[in-house]
Structure 1
Amino acid sequence: MFLESKRRGEVFGLFLSSAVINNPDYTMDKINTVARLLRYKHDFRGYIHLKIIPGASDAAIEDALSLASAVSLNIETPGGKHFEMLSGKKDYEKDIVRPMKLMSRLTGKGMKLSRVKCTTQFIVGASDETDSEIIDSVFDLYERLRFKRVYFSAYQKGLGDPNIPGERHFLSNPGEHFMREHRLYQVDFLVRKYGFSRKDILVDGSGKLRLDKDPKQLWAERHPDFYPVRINSSDRATLLRVPGFGPDTVKKILAMRRERNISRFEEIGIKGKRLENALRYVIFE
């Protein structure tokens, strides 16, 4: 099915995962066998993303890395105490942390498998974790383990064991978990693309992100002394702190400045609500 879809130009790669069959290594063998057939029997050189099964052996993980373009093992929660509330069958340190460290080491700079990207995912709201705890873990994953991406998935009530925190907690707003997921993705983007540090990500006294305001806007409002930003002379990092300016807009500004001074937002294509917001934070000197 995959190869036929590839021949028709409908897909360019494959994401391969599985529920646990018998045990982690048996499952990994099935996953790796499919990848090996694609690579060596069918000479497929495109994108293959393989799921690492928690508890898999070092040998099974290294085999997957040798076949894949990217691999992922879902961390689920920020720390063992939250993980234990969700699963009594897996050991957080042995089944999650140990293999993630191995993935990091085998794909580190200068290693034979350094081309392989490692990713992971948090389930937001299944346990009783705070946003602050998730954010701390995100920074660890990027800075210490050198993972390429962190993803987030909002927990949906009614799908899990009735005894886990995500089922027991009453939500005044049914969409709260989805908004938390959205805010965490914004934080992730600020970390990866805007150069925000851990202290730049603001949470309240209970470790929660503001659901009613995006974290970049909140930082701007808490740091009025940083503004106004001079649009014709400020560096890239400074321009990226302007609400409404993303990496593409800043790239365009820097390119235009090499030829002339910018005097109006219309020159860089900003309009509507983005324009209204950005006007409060910049000057055209």
Structure 2
Amino acid sequence: MRRRRWARDRELRAPRSPQALSTADFLTLGNAVCGFLAIYSMTTGVLIPHITGDGSAPTNRHSAAMAVTLLLLGSMCDLFDGLVARKLRSSALGAELDNLADLTSFGIAPAYFVAVWGMVSPDGDQRLSAFIALTVLLAVVLRLARFSAVKMQPGVFQGMPCPMGAMTVIAIVLLDPPFIPAMIAIFGVAYLMVSRIEYPKPQGLLATATLCWIVVSIGCLAAWAAGLPGGDVLLHVGATAQIALAAMAPLLVIRRKVNQKVCDVRARRAESRLG
């Protein structure tokens, strides 16, 4: 415990050049690495075998599970880099690095998932999937640009957070539903990311719950990739829960705002009666 405090105090006191990287920055770079490796895994394990005709279902399953696991690890890095930056001192490069890493892991990677699924799915449409993938990518770009330019009140995000949007898009792909309804659902997720609905930031208990959710998701993916009994059920339950969470979150936020406005109106009426 003393060594940890001493290391933290040393980092807080040490002079830092504008181009020096902090501990949080290395976690951010880990997020970017996970995003790239996820794209690489989907390309070598799913897309290329499909094009050459050498792919098999177990291989595709293992590669897809590996890619999603990497993105979950990227989400974990994204969660911890903010916590570490608040505990320790962040660098001048921190915000820019975070946006670029998020664009890789939660913008390009899920868009690539959608495009590849449109190619390998029996009822897929390559052009439509490419258009929807572009929609996801542009939504993340706009979401990140607005995050940098617009000042929000503490504790909330404007629009669905990119990690949550990316995981929801991938959950839809993993469920492998009918193609057209899936494209409509993915387009809806892209819309939620650029919407003005306020989402709470993962802090305190919410951050702990998010971390536990990531660990459980990785376990479900591992069981599914290994072909263990019940692995398919676990995957479907986890993916369905992710989609349900994404669908309910804006409804809960809107309900909280409506209740708050109702309470404000009642308070004003009570004040006017007393006055």
Normalised by the size of structure 2, how large is the TM-score?
A: 0.27
Bigger share in strand: 1
Bigger share in helix: 2
Which of structures 1 and 2 has the bigger CA Rg?
A: 1
Normalised by the size of structure 1, how large is the TM-score?
A: 0.26
